[in-house]
Structure 1
Amino acid sequence: MRHKVLIAEDEPAIRELVRLALEEANITEIIEASNGKEALEKAERYQPSLILLDWMMPEMDGLTVCRTLKMQESTRNIPIVMLTAKSEEGDIVLGLEMGAVDYITKPFSRRVLIARVRAHLREQSETTIANEIRRGSLMLNIEQHLCKLNGEPVELTFSEYEILALFARHPGRVYTRNQIIRRVKGDDYPVTERSVDVQIVNLRKKLGEWGSSNIETIRGIGYRLKQENWQ
């Protein structure tokens, strides 16, 4: 499947670096924008598979572009990865809350950029959610709401299962507590920021070494499932 990637970055040198990295990853349909308004217009016109969006740009900043794209029916499902020199926790959380699926802080290496882009494009190519998800020795059957680890059933509450399924579908993606809350509605108890933390603790306990090794805390931001070459 051929992918189109939009690079929205006002610094020509960084834009060139990103373009060369994408070409190295065999992505040949590359669209470029040097300011926020141009990025918004080209995203609407070309409908890229992925947008690499700089945080600080002239005419319209990256956060405004991100928020606008997520409000529009035609562009709301395009994944956005923020490219930013901002590394403060609050800024990262804000970007994720606005709808970005990931962030890469500058300076970044080509290898990291290529790995992140490939992961998000691979995810974007999955047109349907598989009924069964396998992540190493973990297996989730979505239809049966079943969790097995090393072939043995693991009893989870509704909310614990939904959080784990969310992470398992998108390994490597960081979710803030508010994002988790919006996606999880359980009857076991009301989902609050504090209860999300409690459920993560319970998940790690119930999943033993697998849970401790693979469910990561991103300090000040949220949680994610470690990105591995899962077999």
Structure 2
Amino acid sequence: MKTRILVVEDEEPLMLLLRYNLEAEGYEVDCVARGDEAEMRLREAMPDLALIDWMLPGLSGIELCRRIRVREETQTLPVIMLTARGEEGDRVRGLATGADDYIVKPFSVPELLARIRALLRRAKPAHVASRLEAGDIALDRETHRVRRAGRELHLGPTEFRLLEFLMQSPGRVFSREQLLDGVWGNDVYIDERTVDVHVGRLRKAINVGDTKDPIRTVRGAGYAFDETFSGAGAG
């Protein structure tokens, strides 16, 4: 059963960005644009985590968070506040109202995903796999180590994030632009050819000897982690 995240955000471009990246991470995503709609949705079905914008029509994010903590059925729901307010007093107010974490716009998508995983790991450890495995490759998110056929591989931090991102959605083809957003963050402005460079480095690090290359290049589209990868045979 997929981990379900409720996104409460009235800025449509940001809502769509969050939905896309959360679904790519493997979460089931439910989006609403108003605080009062979110309160009703919480009475209908309980998510595993809520991302709540500070400023919302109908009911503010702060008031929604306060009501979540008052209601017995939702008082342990993990909550991350999204806001453009960066002053210390506002952060303290948000946390004092009951938010578990606080991230200021504009934010890095990889950072947000990492905070979601960390919060779920604390609140609902069964919902976040600390290891990703495919064929003879095993990636450990907690120790940041990758092994292939029992042998430890030495990946740079960017290559590790790239492999993690691809392994989360085996078979799915990601464009260079999507990989830039998912691995580097949508607020980082670098050339799409940078993706090719790091894919090349990743391949060099994980394809040792007579091993199959699990990274599939789709001409004119991008890259994918081969969903049929078994680890055997030559690439």
Q: Secondary structure at the match of 1:44?
A: helix
Structure 2 residue 25 is the aligned partner of structure 1 residue 16: no
* Alignment length (residue pairs): 128
The one-character-per-residue Cα deviations of 1:90-112 (angstroms, maximum 9, x if unpaired) are 11000100100001100011111
Using the size of structure 2 for normalisation, the TM-score is 0.52
Alignment check: 8 A CA contact 1:7 1:53 kept: yes
Q: Which residue of 2 aligns with 1:84?
A: 83
Structure 1 residue 7, shift from structure 2 partner = 0.1
Tell me how far 1:45 sits from its aligned partner: 1.5
Q: Deviations over 1:149-201 (max 9, x none)?
A: xxxxxxxxxxxxxxxxxxxxxxxxxxxxxxxxxxxxxxxxxxxxxxxxxxxxx
Kindly indicate whether the alpha-carbon contact (under 8 Å) linking 1:83 and 1:103 is maintained by their aligned counterparts in 2.
yes
Q: 1:2 Cα deviation (Å)?
A: 2.4
Larger Cα-atom Rg: 2
SS in 2 for 1:19: helix
In the alignment, the residues of structure 1 paired with residue 69 and residue 113 of structure 2 have an alpha-carbon distance, to the nearest angstrom, of 24
Give the Å deviation of 1:86: 0.3
Unmatched segments (≥5 aa) in structure 1: 128-134, 137-231
CA distance in 2, matches of 1:20, 1:71: 31
Alignment of 1:47-126 (within 5 A): 47-126=46-125
Task: Give the TM-score taking structure 1 as reference length.
Answer: 0.53
Residue of structure 2 equivalent to 1:44 = 43
Q: Secondary structure at 1:97's aligned position in 2?
A: helix
Cα distance in 2 for partners of 1:14, 1:80 equals 18
Give structure 1 regions of 4+ aligned residues with deviation exceeding 4 angstroms.
Answer: none
- Is the contact between residue 85 and residue 106 of structure 1 (CA under 8 Å) also seen in structure 2? yes
Q: Summarize deviations over 1:102-126 as a string: whole Å, max 9, x none.
A: 0110001111111111111222223
Residues 187-226 of structure 1 correspond to what in structure 2 (within 5 A)? none
CA contact (8 A) 2:2 2:26 kept: no
Q: Quote the offset at 1:24 in angstroms.
A: 2.2
Q: For 1:51, what is the secondary structure of its paired residue? A: strand
Partner Cα separation in structure 1 for residue 7 and residue 38 of structure 2:
8
Distance 2:123 2:19 in 1: 20
Q: State how far apart, in whole Å, the 1-side matches of 2:43 and 2:18 are.
A: 21
- Aligned equivalents of 1:100, 1:76: Cα separation in 2: 11
Cα displacement string for residues 12-52 of structure 1 (whole angstroms, at most 9, x for unaligned residues):
1010111112112111x211110100111112221110000
Partner of 2:116: helix, strand, or coil? Answer: helix
1:89 CA displacement: 0.5
Q: Displacement, 1:57?
A: 0.5
